[in-house]
Structures are given as C-alpha cells and as structure tokens.
Amino acid sequence: MLGMVDTPFQQPQALNVRQNRALALAGVFQAAQLTHMTAMTGQQSIGESGNFYFEQLIKACLNIRPAMNSSTQTLDFFHQLADISLGLKTLESSITQPFSSSPKSRLPKLSNA
C-alpha cells in the first residue's frame, strides 16, 4: 500500500501558522488556569498534575530562542502536546462553554482581616 503511513497518528514535524498560534494561545490559557487554581486554592492544593503543568510553563518561559528565527515552532517550547494539554482543554471549554455573566456558583468573598 503506497502512501500509507506506518504510524497514522504520528504528529507532523512542522505545524502551520494557525496550529502554532492555537498552541501558543493554549499556553496562555494554561497559565491563566493555573493562576486561577492557585489563587483560589493555594499552591499546595493544585496537586501533582497542576505542578507538572506549572513546571512545563516555567521550562517554556526559560527556553530562550533567537527572535529572528522565523522557523521556531510552538512545540520547540512545549516539547509535546501532553505538556500543554491543560491549556488545550481549557481553551476548548472556553470556546464550547463561553463565559457567562451570571455564573451558577458564586465566587468566595475575601475576608477583611
């Protein structure tokens, strides 16, 4: 069978511009979600998976590349899609269930102490 790929679900090596932008946006959503979770529950309460995603963001931020390199891909910073899956899920849920001005649950009030 000519034209068949040995591993049909293998990630392509180079992503197009839209895919890179979507992954970069997912990185922003991942950072926002982790910030929200930490603010609401504290660093100790985000759990092992939260710490994993936080670590991936720190690694991506410290992965410095030359600004003039036009061939830089988003996955050069996030080495695999699993590293940014929290951001992808958060982005997807914000598209499918956008922000409601009248949320079902109230945010906890800050104490004045």
3-state helix, strand, coil in the chain (%, to 5): 55, 0, 45
Reduce the DSSP state of residue 18 to 3 states and report it. helix
pTM of this prediction? 0.64
Per the listing, tokens 């004045």 go with 112
Reduce the DSSP state of residue 78 to 3 states and report it. coil
Residue pLDDT, tens place only, 48-99: 777 888 888 888 877 766 565 666 777 777 878 888 888 899 899 888 887 6
Looking at residue 29, its pLDDT comes to 92
Looking at residue 112, its pLDDT comes to 46
